[in-house]
Amino acid sequence: MKRITIEPVTRIEGHAKITIQLDDAGKVAGTQFQVTQIRGFEKFTEGRPFYEMPGITSRICGICPISHQLASAKASDAIMSVRIPKAAKLLREVIHCAQFVQSHALSFFYLSAPDLLLGMNADPQTRNFAGLIEADPELARAGLELRKFGLQVIETLAEERVHASWIVPGGVKAPLSAQNRDRILAGIPEVLATTERVIALFKNKLESFTEEIENFGSFPTMYAALVDGAGDLQFYDGPIRFRDALGGIIQGGIVSEDYSEFIGEASLRDSYLKAPYYRPAGYPDGVYRVGPLARINVAEGCGTPKADAELQEYRRRFGRIPHSAFLYHYARLIEILYALERMANLLARPEALDTHVRASAGVNSLEGVGVIEAPRGTLIHHYKVDENGAIVWANLIVATGHNNLAIGRSVRQVSEHFVHGEHLEEGMLNRVSAVVRAYDPCLSCSTHALGMPLVTVSLVGPDGELLDEIS
Amino acid sequence: MRKLKLATVWLDGCSGCHMSLLDLDAGLIPVLRKVDIVYGPLVDAQEFPEEVDITLVEGAVSSQEDADRIHEIRQRTKLLVSLGDCAVTANVAGMRNTIPVTKLLQRIYVDGADESKRIPADSLPRLLKLARPAQDFVKIDVCIPGCPPQSRTIAAFLNNLLDGRKPDANAKIKFG
């Protein structure tokens, strides 16, 4: 038995390690996906006032802080037992859409485009965003522009790009001015056009990735996501819907307070990331996926014209419920279209400028759950407080956690298909990392931790001797 | 002129400081003309290189692995920069410091699990008793505080350095 280690996996948001075991014939005998850091937010927030939670849990992740602020604020709204003002709900959804744009742009352009545009086998020295700037400056600029647009909207509303304090229990801190609304609206057509150009380019590239599409985590699982009243894509609020691998709806509308009846968590021997599972199916059979692929599979449609047109084409090509994790990239681009269109739609409503944006109340319930769709999938914050509002217990289930079991299986599938023999090629192993990138795992979110990327790949013989190494 | 070698490192942090670095937006392009990013979350470097000119460290030192790494990074770096409050003071990472590590792990993996209740241990880095700032382990040359530091603070720091001026991180610092 020989062992290959990829540690850490690069160009992902966090710190993970992959081990591939080869048998004597050089075939893949087993794989292991490990998340190697832990921070402990669920424990060290005990004793903090609940209204501090959006600010503290924002620091779980600098990439999608808005997601944690929103889930936390929704759990806090429940503790206060308030229905937040219409304008507050609308503005929270607008900032959430902006975050989708910037976070998806980071994943697609900065982390995965080097594989997709420069090639899986490209020189690792230049297979990165700087290399992309050299090779395809226009595409790199599109990425910069999209990410910047999302962050500028966040800055316009919340005054800070990272860890702002505008989203608060009961609503948001300040209303939107007409001038700022108009400025955001004026910018949308250009970034929509940019997104459409990028999608066209991506589709042209798809044919060269047929083998990856077939073997990148392509296996049937259940899917979970929030949907709106019509069953369409929804990021901010709605019941959780589960579909089975054939597309049948197995749970139509789980309300947030009931999540724990359907979602359990298992601890793993060799990873700091726990593995959630669909309870009625048990562990480990209850594998399901979340995030862009899951949302697109779970929803009937997007509910906005450009995104729906693209979704139709996607379904014509790949079917109603495609299972390949490679298609996370495509789904992510469709969601950027949706987020931009949805933002424009929301901002055009008169209540966008309403100055009633915050409800105030004390502790009226000793428990609260907040569920949203974060860019990487369903995010759950669940708090219990005492009469004074101090946290006595907290549970956080983050997007990447839900995908933990599926990522592990995807690593296995890609390894079995692409990694052969005793002679390693860097491109083989980059594909193993690339399937992890397709999920866009936010391991800083999931273990509430981060690490640094460093790849040493070594092939070790049965007695521990070094047979081959790529460095 | 030789391009400077820049490395960026994530320890126990949230990546927000790295995001603030990316928030230079198009300002990144002229910076990338003057530096090569030789190591960091955005590139496929395989090992922390020898003789790095500048390393930006985000996050506190929280595990034995972090501690080993910060020593290696110090040995291989000319100018070592603590980027952001977690690297400078341990900040949010340090919020766990009043709780014994075993209690923390027990809460998450035993009390907080429905199946296979156990504390993960197989070939995983061991948590240190305390999450501490990088300067408790090695000499730090420059501290840039902020949660995260504003991108214009980072830009001013980098541009000063790249233009051959002494780094003055104090000029545009905003706390909190």
Q: What is the Cα–Cα distance from A134 to A137, expressed in whole angstroms?
A: 6
Strands B4-10 and A391-397: unpaired
Q: What is the pLDDT of residues B133-175, one digit of tens each?
A: 999 999 999 999 999 999 999 999 998 888 888 766 555 555 5
Residue A350: partners with Cβ closer than 8 Å, 6 or more residues away: none
Strands A171-172 and A222-226: unpaired
- Mean pLDDT over residues B33-59, rounded? 90
Number of domains in chain B: 1
Q: What is the pLDDT of residues A44-94, one digit of tens each?
A: 999 999 999 999 999 999 999 999 999 999 999 999 999 999 999 999 999
Rg (CA), chain A: 22
For chain A, what are the domain ranges? 2-36+404-470, 83-219+324-360
In a domain, B11, yes or no: yes
In a domain, B105, yes or no: no
- Find residues 154-173 of chain B whose CB sits inside 8 Å of chain A: none
Q: What is the pLDDT of residues A212-255, one digit of tens each?
A: 999 999 999 999 999 999 999 999 999 999 999 999 999 989 99
User: Does the domain made of A83-219+324-360 have the CATH classification 3.20.20.140?
Assistant: no
Q: What is the Cα–Cα distance from A4 to A471, expressed in whole angstroms?
A: 12
A295 in B contact zone (CB under 8 Å): no
Q: What is the pLDDT of residues A12-26, one digit of tens each?
A: 777 788 888 888 888
A287 in B contact zone (CB under 8 Å): no
Q: What is the Cα–Cα distance from B174 to A402, expressed in whole angstroms?
A: 37
In a domain, B172, yes or no: no
ipTM, interface predicted TM-score of the complex: 0.93
Q: What is the Cα–Cα distance from A278 to A285, expressed in whole angstroms?
A: 8
Q: What is the DSSP letter of B106?
A: I
A42 in B contact zone (CB under 8 Å): yes
In a domain, B17, yes or no: yes
Report how many Cβ contacts below 8 Å link chain A to chain B: 201
In a domain, B86, yes or no: yes
Position A459 scores a pLDDT of 47
Cβ(B112)–Cβ(A401) below 8 Å: no
Q: What is the Cα–Cα distance from A21 to B38, expressed in whole angstroms?
A: 30
Q: What is the Cα–Cα distance from B72 to B58, expressed in whole angstroms?
A: 15
Nearest-Cα distance to chain A for B38, in Å, is: 8
Provide the mean pLDDT of chain B. Answer: 91
CB atoms within 10 A of CB A60: 29
Strands A16-22 and A2-6: antiparallel
Taking the complete model, does pTM exceed 0.90, yes or no? yes
pLDDT at A356 over 80: yes
pLDDT at A284 over 70: yes
In CATH, what number is assigned to the domain containing residue B31?
3.40.50.700
| Side-chain half-sphere exposure of B93, counting CA atoms within 13 A | 35
In a domain, B176, yes or no: no
Range of the domain at B138: 4-97+127-162
